[in-house]
Amino acid sequence: MNRTNKLPITIASLGLLLLAATACRADDIEETTNAAAWTPAPPPFQPFTVGAQVGTLGYGGGADWRFLNHLGIGAAFNTFSYDYHGTIESAPYDIHLHLQSEPLTINVYPWTHSSFHISIGALLNQNRLSGSSDETFTINNNTYSSPVLSIKQEAENPYLTIGGNFYFDHGHHVSLGGELGVVYTGEPKVFFTAQNTSGYPNSQYQADVQSELSKIQGYANDFKFWPVVKVSLNVSF
């Protein structure tokens, strides 16, 4: 949940849009060699696809079933963990970031002979960030120690992406896939506390904790829209 650097995501997004466009073209390429005259044409698509993927949701795997020309379903599992030392709203923390999610989608294929698709569904979300520190810090010019915080996103989120595959073989069995979209993660749940080692009155302590909690809530709200950028290596059958 560190603040997203927009430049890499922009570059990756443009690349994946190009990949999706290329996939649409690649799916429609006809064999021009004489061998095509007696070689059976491949089916317009293989119904089952499994693959390994990496992206802004983490790394993991996914599976899709295209059971009709224009309709299919998909599911995936992504995870990622990272520990680092940083600051959130000027307070120092040893931070643990844990991403884990499972998108479940209905996939719509506008063209029978193309892998390009629109995925609409839900993201089962277990993303969370936690932090603690033995250092002192200030809230409204008052000194406190040992801050502890946690941020947890909502458990179910709307999920919308577009994607496509670039196939390496005429039979549509091995491909490089790309996916681009967004998740709306909703209102995050935020917890914060700190030790009142300076002995401030309880009313002052509660007011300062609430002030810091509001700042952290604002920080967490910056991630209500989480970008989805994925690249995958797939096998279809």
Q: What is the pLDDT of residue 31?
A: 40
Q: What is the pLDDT of residue 166?
A: 95
Burial class from Cβ neighbours inside 10 Å (0-12, 13-18, 19+) for residue 53 reads: buried
Q: Where is 71: in which H helix or E strand?
A: strand 71-88
Q: What is the number of other CB atoms lying within 10 angstroms of the CB of residue 168? A: 13
Range scoring the smallest mean pLDDT among 2-11, 62-71, 106-115, 156-165? 2-11
**pLDDT surpassing 80 at residue 169:** yes
Q: What is the pLDDT of residue 38?
A: 56
Between 2 and 177, whose confidence is greater?
177
**pLDDT surpassing 50 at residue 36:** no
Range scoring the smallest mean pLDDT among 73-82, 93-102, 134-143, 152-161? 134-143
Q: What is the pLDDT of residue 74?
A: 98
DSSP letter, residue 41:
P
Per-residue pLDDT tens over the stretch 6-33? 544 554 555 555 555 555 544 544 444 4
Per-residue pLDDT tens over the stretch 139-148? 999 999 999 9
Q: What is the pLDDT of residue 89?
A: 87
**pLDDT surpassing 90 at residue 121:** yes
d(CA 183, CA 8): 18
- Is the domain spanning 6-236 CATH 2.60.40? The answer is no
Partners of 233 in beta bridges:
52, 176
d(CA 206, CA 140): 12
Average confidence (pLDDT) over 203-224: 95
Give the residue among 210, 186, 208 at the shortest CA–CA distance from 198.
208
- Domain residue ranges in the chain: 6-236
d(CA 164, CA 118): 9
